[in-house]
Structure 1
Amino acid sequence: MNDLIKSISIPAILYKTTEQHMIPNEKAYEILKNNISIQKNLENMLKYVSKKDFEEYLKDIYIIGENENLISFYCLKFDDSSEYKIIIIQDISMALVETIKNKSNNVLLEPIKNNIDIIATDEKGIILNISRFFEKFYNVKSEELLGKSVFELEKSGVFYPSATCKVLKTGQRVTMLQKNRLNREILVTALPIKDNTQNISRVICFSYDITDLYKIKKQIGALEKNAEIYMRNLKSLESKKINFPNVVGKSKEMQKIFKLITKIADFDVNVIITGESGVGKSYFAKLIHNISRRNKAPFVEVNCGAIPENLLESELFGYEGGSFTGAKKEGKLGLIESAQNGTLFLDEIAEMSLNLQVKLLKVIQDKTFNRIGGRKAIKVNFRLITATNRDLKDLIRQRKFREDLFYRLNVVSIHIPALRRRKEDIIALISYFMEKFNKKYNLNKKLSHCAMNSLINYEWIGNIRELENMIERTLLISEGDLITEEFLPDNIKNSHKEMNGQQKNTLQEDLDNYEKDIIVKAFEKYKTTVGVAKALGISQATAVRKIKKYVRKYS
Structure 2
Amino acid sequence: MDNDLSMISKIANPIMIVDASGSIIEINDKAQYLLKIMNINVSLTITDIDPTFNREHIEANRHIHKQINFPLVQEVDIFKLMYRDKPCYLYLFEENIYLDEAFINVIDSIDDGIIIINSNGQLECFNAASLRNLTMNEKKTEVKAKEYEQGKSGIGRNLHDLLQEHHWRYDPMTPEIVRRKKTLSRNIKYDNGNAVSILTLTGIPMLDKDSKVKRVVHTQRDISRLVELEIKLDEMEKFKQDYYDQCEELAYYRNLNKIVYSSKKMGNILKLAYKVAKTDSSVFITGETGVGKEEVSKYIHANSKRKDKPFIAINCASIPSELMESELFGYEAGAFTGARNSGKKGLFEEACGGTVFLDEIGELPPQMQSKLLRVIQEGSFLRVGSNSRIELDVRYICATNLTNEDLTNNNKFRQDLYHRLNVIPIHIPPLRERKDDIMPLIFHFLQFFNDKYDRKIRILKDEIKALVEYNWAGNIRQLKNFIERLVILTENEIVTREEIEANMALNIDNHETNELQFNEIMPLKDVFHNVEQILIKKAIDELGSITAAAKALEIDPSTIHRKIKRGEIEK
Q: TM-score, normalised by structure 1?
A: 0.45
Bigger Cα Rg: 2
**TM-score, normalised on structure 2?**
0.44
